[in-house]
Structure 1
Amino acid sequence: MNQDRAPIRVALLGCGTVGTEVLRLLHDQPDEFAARTGAPMLVTGVAVRRPHKHPEVPEHLLTTDAQALVEGDVDVVVELIGGIEPARSLLLTALRSGKSVVTANKALLAEHGSELYAAADASGADIYFEAAVAGAIPLLRPLRESLAGDRINRVMGIVNGTTNFILSAMDSTGAGYAETLDEAGRLGYAEADPTADVDGFDAAAKAAILASLAFHTRVTASDVHREGISAVTPGDIAAARTLDRTVKLLAICERVVDEDGTESVSARVHPAMIPRSHPLAGVGDAFNAVFVEAEAAGQLMFYGQGAGGAPTASAVLGDLVAVARNLVVAGKGPRESAHAQLPVRPMGKTPTRYHISLDVADKAGVLSQVAAMFNEHDVSISVVRQQGRGEEASLVVVTHTAPDAALRSTVDKIAQLPVVREVVSVMRVEGEPS
């Protein structure tokens, strides 16, 4: 370490669970961080809304004027307040004035990432955001840097701990969604308002970031097809179990290549059945895991704690060290890579597979009528299982890959057949050969 080097001045926006942990670690390990970066780290201010609720922060650091703090004499702005505004305006102010940024704000990046990257490029400042997806798991930097020389074809993963806890508990206990959500709230896995998690908004923002990095294409949260888990029933879980599968809320980003060689990007979040033999199937509780498929590197999996104060602070501090090192040596971090500019494929044209459970009349000709609907929509069948129960029967169909719109239309037509009493379960299937 250069003892004469001026300190790296850090402004911290927000001091919740993650911010408190970041501040604590910087305070407790100053020599360690100075040795890693080549210069001392100095927190010059902490912007919060209610200073009286932060006795853990030295009083002289506290301020309610985030704008003044960002415009002040600082080198790096660490943003942990979340949401779109005022975070967007504050970070643009910082970047346009040449101050580097570390953020964990997935929603902001998913909606306004291109604007932030442009501001960083114009001023030469850095923007790092490892903590925005999957907490402590080193995921974005490998996509952004380690695999920059490879061609990534697919990124599929569990990126929301709340929903993974709920689905894992439903699978292990047989309980319903509402009951398990209540338990997640009691244990602190679910927020008082769990909408962002259970309706897939959180995962969709993360999928947008992952797709943008993996495929060198600007993808926003509005480009991501999104379905939550509130409609998942114990019947869905049981249906998966009969075929040795489990249900997970997956973020799936993939490169789709048509027969004529035209490429596009699909980005989607929805519940899906995956084989219990798949590496993601064993990811339980509130853990996250992401499966990456690249042409040269092959299959890679990143696993760990996807949320929480200490794990997320680890990712924030890793970014802060990287930014500080760049400042010490007058270097720059990686810039936005959106050169591919691939179109985003609508969900209806995205190839998927369906698992369909039906209650049907137990009589001759039922299977042929159902099969005719699949044939009419040019959807081929992979697996059929039928079991009689007196005057009724259960019929399970697993399809081969087909456009999602064709599959959905097929299900709608099947539901209208007189021999079909009820469409019990419809869920996409992932993680196995089509």
Structure 2
Amino acid sequence: MSTAPSVTEPRRSRTSRVGPAAPPRRSMSLALPFDPVLALAVLGICICSLATLNTVSERGIPDGFYMKRQGIYFLVGTIIAAVLARTDYSRLRELKYGIFGLIIVSVIAVRFAGNDVLGARRAIQLPFFSFQASELGKVLLVVALAGFVVDRSRALHQPMTTIRIIALGLLPAALVLIQPDLGSSMVYGAVTLALLFVAGIPGRYFAAMGAVFAVVVVCVLVVLPMAGTEVLHGYQKARLTSFLHPNDNSNDTAFQQIQSRVAIGSGEKTGRGDKATQTSYNFLGEHHTDFVFAVVGERWGFMGAGLVLSLYALLIWRGLRALTMAKNLYGALIAGGITAMMLFQVFINVGMTVGIMPVTGIPLPLMSYGGSSVITTFLAIGLLQSVYAQGRASTAGKGRVLGF
């Protein structure tokens, strides 16, 4: 009795799909190739700056002059940041030697071709603004020094490697200090330490650097002056020490801090508005640059000052976010160095206006009037956006989905 051959149905593979394939999940980075929260923080600070500078008046300066100029700087800076945000920041690592050389050459050029202002030569006068090489050098140092750190990342546990990196950071800092520009040289030092921290050098090296720094400060402020050698100018020493006992000092630096504290204190909760006197009648000098935060405190009080500081906190948070999302060590170092640069400048500037930090001439990023400072800050923002965007794109390519 014959039997019909059995027909066995082919087994369905476990990996085969029934029906059409599900569309791949899109990451938000593909829809927004930049950090919108960072952009909103920057926009908010710019609006606060324009509103503040619109209230600043000086004898011989037309009303709204600083606000209009600042608006032009913001527009130019935004364009530069937008272009830089779509540039592969990793390519800058190949240019580290040229970028570092540019810092040195530009600072030296200012020394010989800059204009003397109040005994200092810090900028070259251009048709539309004064170019401060020390400001541009802040971002360039982050980019160049990060490249040097990456090249030596496997030898950071060796003391000589750390010493070489510190020397590379302190060389332009020393040249800037000679101008003299104490504030920018301090920022250079803070950036160098931040890059070493992000790179993960041993903690004992930071302890050793702290001890060396303490010895240097004692020598510069006490030992060498007693021996007849002055390292710092008299006004620089006054700036570094007068904030400790401002009421016991009659110099201009102490007077500035006293007037700044009076202005901020008089603002109370909601500010004095058009009744502000310390800044409107020029009792407080440099209130459109170094002491712009005092204008905010007097005119809009605690509420206005709190809003500005909240926007800076948001900016710092997004910088740290870009650090954690960077696709490589170079990006993490750039984000960390820029975030440290911003945080250090905000802390020192706001601190000096309320009398807890020395007056060093460090501007408040995007709030203080000045073309070099604004353009430099937007360069930094563009780099942060580039690190963020490429980090999200790299994560999306691996099939991961991240929120803001």
Instruction: Pick the TM interval, shorter chain.
Output: under 0.3
Give the structure-1-normalised TM-score.
Answer: 0.21
Larger radius of gyration: 2
Structure richer in strand, relative to its length: 1
Structure richer in helix, relative to its length: 2
